[in-house]
Amino acid sequence: MWDGLNTLDPGDWLTIGATFGLVLAIWLACVTYYCIRRAMRVQRVQRRLGLDGFKATDADGRTLRLWHAGQESTTTVPRGARTRPLIDALDRWVRDAGWEVPLSGLLMAVTGMAMLAAVTLWLITRSLVPTLAAAAAIVMLFWLYTKKKKDRRVLKFDTQFAEALGLVSRSLRAGHPLLAGFQVVADQMPAPVGDLFRQIVQQHDLGIDLEEALSNAGRKSSSTDLQLFATSVTLQLRSGGNLADLMDRLAEVIRDRMRLGRKVRVLTAQTQFSKRVLIVLPFIVFAVLNLINADYMQPLYTTGIGRVLLLIAGASLLLGTWVMSRVAVLKY
């Protein structure tokens, strides 16, 4: 038996290792699926109880103090996502994209898919460059899909949120309490705004104070409009005032910001188009050169220096894509 093992060349050992990795990836996929389903059930219960948010500490925001009728009213304004650790920022990014899967389960799933793609391509090609490219492609496709999903959800949330505030304002003017207005929004508005107000109402029904439920909603979201809404309503509840007028003013501010956002997208349309052209152009040139003169491109695949150059080119392309994406974004 040992003599047979000694006759195996390095390629055979790599094949055995790749086969073991393939079986391991399939087993990890099954375990990940079970863990994700279990974590989703736990997360749904925690969301209803308001236990999946961040703790309100001084590190999470700054405290505002207002005086009204000789009494002090305080509230905590949540800080932006930039001041949070990496894990919290990733968790918020996944939540804003609308993923129901917890962050840990999602990372395990993406890692398993990348490993499966890399091992499969290694068994087919026996080349390191396509193997690494397959794993990187899985991660990049997941990032692009999640980013596009997040952008669509944020745009939908902003549009629905302005309508929801108008609905709450009309409910208050009709004589209903604030929580009844939230319930109307939860019953009549679709996701994601309907789910947000439904969670607030459910947390209040389970014994959580309304101010705390609003504060939890603001801390768990990266939407500045929602954070402004949570802070304004909390201050208004403590100091008194016309909540209907507050809802109307907030809705108007959100609509003005959306109009400004549309103007910004028009001004940056040329930059976005140039970014897409510069990203796609290297792939087109690379494919055309392979079709016109395959022998000329062969050293990139058969030599060690060529493979290193391909890896450097791919890394440079990713870095350039990230830089152009950052340049094309305007903060307002």
Domain annotation covers residue 79: no
Q: Summarize pLDDT for 270-312 with one digit per residue, the tens.
A: 878 888 888 889 889 988 988 898 888 888 888 888 888 888 8
Q: Summarize pLDDT for 206-245 with one digit per residue, the tens.
A: 888 888 899 888 888 888 889 889 998 988 888 878 889 9
Across 179-186, average pLDDT = 92
pLDDT reported for residue 1: 43
Distances in Å between the Cα of 101 and the Cα atoms of 152, 196, 207 are 18, 17, 27
Of 330 and 186, which is predicted with more confidence? 186
pLDDT over 70, % of the chain: 75
231 and 256 assigned to the same domain: yes
Strands (E), the chain: 61-68, 71-78
Q: Which residues of 37-62 are buried (b: 16+ CB within 10 A; e: fewer)?
A: eebeeebeeebeebebbbebeeebbe
Domain annotation covers residue 289: yes
Is residue 83 very low, low, confident or very high in pLDDT (cuts 50, 70, 90)?
very low
Tokens describing residue 55: 């703790």
pLDDT reported for residue 273: 84
pLDDT reported for residue 330: 64
Domain count, the chain: 2
Residue 81 predicted with pLDDT over 60: no
Distance CA 103, CA 101 (A): 7
Residue 329 predicted with pLDDT over 70: no
Length of the chain: 332
Domain boundary among 204, 231, 263: 263
Domain containing 293 equals: 268-332
pTM: 0.66
